[in-house]
Amino acid sequence: MRCMAATPSRCRRLNSNEKISEPMKTLRSRLLQKKVSNAKSIRIVVLILGVLTACTQPAIALGDYELVLSMTNQGGGRGTSTDYDLSASLIPGAGEVMLSSDYASYPYLPGQLYTPVELQVTAATASVAENGTKQLAATQVMDDATTLPVPAAEVTWQVLSGPISSISVAGVAQAGSVYQNTAASVQGGATGLNGTLKLTVLDTIPDNYGSYAGDGLPDGWQVQTMGLSGTSGGPALDPDGDGLSNLMEYALGLNPVLQSTLPATTVLNSGNMEFTYTRSKTAITGGTQFQVQWSDTLEATSWSGSGVSEQILSDDGTHQQVKATLPAGSGGRRFVRLRVQ
Ligand SMILES: [Ca+2]
Ligand SMILES: [Ca+2]
Ligand SMILES: [Ca+2]
């Protein structure tokens, strides 16, 4: 043990019949204390092993020393140097000189002594509408299982992947446009720890993506059939040259880059014309309007839907087959067309 006398040379070994001074009794009592009454032990670690000596000079009270911490962590009271660890706390009596192994677990100090071991990035929900925003938050998880929110401005935000165009200093993520629900990943960093959050950018606007935006056709179908970007996706265009516009190809569930024939037949039956065609259920769900019209002259203003009735013949969930029945007329000829819009 290190002598606590002002003049070490005057220290001597304690004889068996000598009594220890009262200050040293107090010190030794503290050093030999092993457990506290509530069975949660706080070990007092004797830093220096040796023979207990009595000093002819009065021992210097602990209050006479000032330990200047060479480093403190966020617990606020743990100091560390190469020679000692000092752990103080807000709980009276809990601040003692200890080795790190003695307070590796310190359930008696929840929320008082802790070290961040994880950074969690969260949001109110794990999805964000396209072109919308989402507030992100970061929380430190400590080694005593407590948590501490980190102000967003103290977090370094980063987009790892997906259609998140930016994250502000305040932790607000800005979503971009998508043609389908799309995964994204963001990251927050603080106090040397990083946390990630997976978000889903929801496709809430069907016609707003890239070169296909605002043309009246769903971007998802255009990307699926013509690639992520293109100049032949307009509804009136016919990139495969089969005489069917992209709008008609979409409405009837056809491939706009693979030549097709109109999936329709016309027959006479008991004085009526029966026009049977197949259409896309996706287009129906998306709001596409179908109308069978007839004309005897092909003049632009002569087309009419008068007297036309429709019957659904089959529905497999993807396509729907419909029969339109209309009067054959008495003029000897009648033309039928399918109008899609
Ligand atoms: Ca969209
Ligand atoms: Ca479009
Ligand atoms: Ca075509």
Q: Which domains does the chain have, with CATH numbers?
A: 8-103 (no CATH), 116-202 (2.60.40.10), 210-252 (no CATH), 264-340 (2.60.40)
Lowest mean pLDDT segment, chosen from 86-100, 207-221, 244-258, 274-288: 86-100
**How many A from CA of 328 to the centre of ligand 3?**
30
Residue whose pair of structure tokens reads 């209309």 in the numeric block: 326
**How many A from CA of 89 to the centre of ligand 1?**
55
Neighbours of ion ligand 1 (CB under 5 A): 203, 205, 208
d(Cα 77, Cα 65) in Å, to the nearest integer? 17
For all residues of the chain together, what is the average pLDDT? 78
Q: pLDDT tier at 271 (50, 70, 90 boundaries)?
A: confident
| 8 φ/ψ angles, rounded to the nearest 5 degrees | -55, -30
Mean pLDDT of 118-141: 97
CA-to-CA separations, 263 to 146, 221, 251, 294, in angstroms, rounded:
66, 19, 11, 18
Q: pLDDT tier at 229 (50, 70, 90 boundaries)?
A: confident
| 221 φ/ψ angles, rounded to the nearest 5 degrees | -70, -40
Q: What pLDDT, on a 0 to 100 scale, did the predictor assign at position 332? A: 84
Instruction: Pick left, alpha or beta for residue 191 (phi over 0 → left; psi -120 to 50 → alpha; otherwise beta).
Output: left
Percentage of the residues of the chain whose pLDDT score is greater than 70: 67
Helix (DSSP H) and strand (DSSP E) numbers for the chain? 4, 20
d(Cα 98, Cα 77) in Å, to the nearest integer? 13
Structure tokens that stand for 86 in this block: 């000092």
Residue whose pair of structure tokens reads 């979409």 in the numeric block: 250
Q: What pLDDT, on a 0 to 100 scale, did the predictor assign at position 87? A: 60
Structure tokens that stand for 230 in this block: 């293109």
Lowest mean pLDDT segment, chosen from 35-44, 182-191, 245-254: 35-44
Total-model pTM: 0.64
Q: What pLDDT, on a 0 to 100 scale, did the predictor assign at position 227? A: 93
CA-based Rg of the chain, rounded to a whole angstrom? Answer: 41
Tell me whether strands 127-129 and 193-202 are parallel, antiparallel or unpaired: parallel
**How many A from CA of 340 to the centre of ligand 3?**
14
- In this predicted model, what pLDDT tens digit does every residue of 317-331 receive, in sequence order? 999 999 999 999 888
d(Cα 212, Cα 48) in Å, to the nearest integer? 77
Mean pLDDT of 253-281: 94
Lowest mean pLDDT segment, chosen from 30-34, 133-137, 311-315: 30-34
Mean pLDDT of 75-88: 57
CB distance 296 to 304 below 8 Å: no
Neighbours of ion ligand 3 (CB under 5 A): 238, 240, 242, 244
Residue whose pair of structure tokens reads 């310190």 in the numeric block: 106
